[in-house]
Amino acid sequence: MTKVARGMCKYAEMPALTQHGPPPSPDDLLVLLAVARAGRFTTAGAELGLNHTTIARRIGALEAALGGRVLARGVAGWVLTPIGEHAVSAAEGVERALGSLSPDAPSLSGVVRLSATDGFSGFIASPAIVEVRRAHPDVSLEIVAATRRAAQQRVGVDLEVVVGRPHVHRAEAIHLADYALGLYASRAFLERRGIPRSLEELNGAPLVYFIESMLQVDALDEARRSTLGMLDAVSSTNVYVHVDATRAGAGFGLLPAFLADQHDDLVRLFTDEIDERLPYWLVCRPEALRQPTVLAFIGALHARIAAVSEELLGNGRRH
């Protein structure tokens, strides 16, 4: 059984709700489902065509029917309580039942919300959603591009992809793949400066990489151990800026091989000495693992990663 399947089974085994008073309204359950996925009343209301007051009233009615709070205020928005998690399971059953009434029931629809690094978003996630949309054109993807640690409360996103093993609670963490970081320079830059023959010659050389003071990811911080003697020339939170600045001749770039190897004007240096392997991890909200659209997207991510495994490790240079 896969890790995703085990996570789904774990939440499916939760005990049933104890009702207090009249049974909850299916409409109120669907409102909770929208809030759980969006993390905010306003966002859920925009999706459902309801105002903030109506959303709050529906949630209040649901809590009265269930005899307890279904939502709690988190750092970045609303998160589910244990009662809310049970209620969301019922809401997903309502959603599936309504979907089965459609003449094109096998087709999926909805939004998958992803937080991921820039490189993963462009190289892995974007092609993956294209494959999903070939079969299910009503599925869309929203990407929040960010390089950060996994959040303890995933509000407003279904999935997170982070670099380095995450330490999270009430979530599933799945290792997706490793990728290689290497040292690159443009051919024009090397013609002007000369090709370094040893790592010692890199001391004092200009480096293109992340802004050290803003870097929150330990694995990315540790990856620059082989370039500690180099001086920051261009620093950015965006890896595509790293690639473009290196191509422009700003310095030596510590770059993901799967991005740098696409450019014939970049040369990889010290392949054996500087070959940092970093892991991509997927972090999933429990309720997200019960959404068919999310599961379809996760499957597409795995398929895309399998197709580009050589490029991720720097073994598939396209020159």
State the average pLDDT over residues 47-68: 88
Predicted local confidence at residue 11, as pLDDT? 38
State the average pLDDT over residues 141-146: 88
* Tokens 């991921």 found at: 116
State the average pLDDT over residues 281-308: 88
Predicted local confidence at residue 240, as pLDDT? 96
**Which top CATH class is 14-100?**
mainly alpha
Read out DSSP for 7-42?
HHHHHHTSPPPPP-SSPPPHHHHHHHHHHHHHSSHH
The residue among 272, 228, 277 whose CA lies nearest residue 257 is: 277
Torsion sign across C-alpha atoms 256, 157, 10, 302:
negative
* Beta-carbon contacts of residue 242 (< 8 Å; ≥ 6 apart): 208, 209, 210, 234, 236, 253, 254, 255
107-319 placed in CATH 3.40.190.290? yes
Lowest mean pLDDT among 81-95, 139-153, 174-188, 262-276: 139-153
Q: Is the pLDDT of residue 7 over 50?
A: no
Q: Is the pLDDT of residue 302 over 80?
A: yes
* Beta-carbon contacts of residue 88 (< 8 Å; ≥ 6 apart): 32, 33, 36, 80, 287, 290
Side chain identity at 246, as an amino acid letter? T
Predicted local confidence at residue 212, as pLDDT? 82
Is 215 or 79 the better-scoring residue by pLDDT? Answer: 79
Q: Please list the residue range(s) of the chain that carry CATH number 3.40.190.290.
A: 107-319
Q: State how far the Cα of 156 lies from the Cα of 159, in Å rounded to an integer.
A: 9
Q: Please list the residue range(s) of the chain that carry CATH number 1.10.10.10.
A: 14-100
Tens of pLDDT, residue by residue over 225-242, are 888 899 999 999 999 999
Distances (CA, A) of 21 to 61, 66, 68, 93, 137: 11, 8, 12, 21, 41
The model's pTM is: 0.69
* Tokens 């396209």 found at: 318
Q: Is the pLDDT of residue 216 over 80?
A: no
The residue among 68, 80, 73, 82 whose CA lies nearest residue 24 is: 68
Give the max Cα distance, the chain.
79
Torsion sign across C-alpha atoms 141, 170, 76, 124:
negative
Output helix, strand, coil percentages for the chain, rounded to the nearest 5: 45, 20, 35
Is 262 or 99 the better-scoring residue by pLDDT? Answer: 262
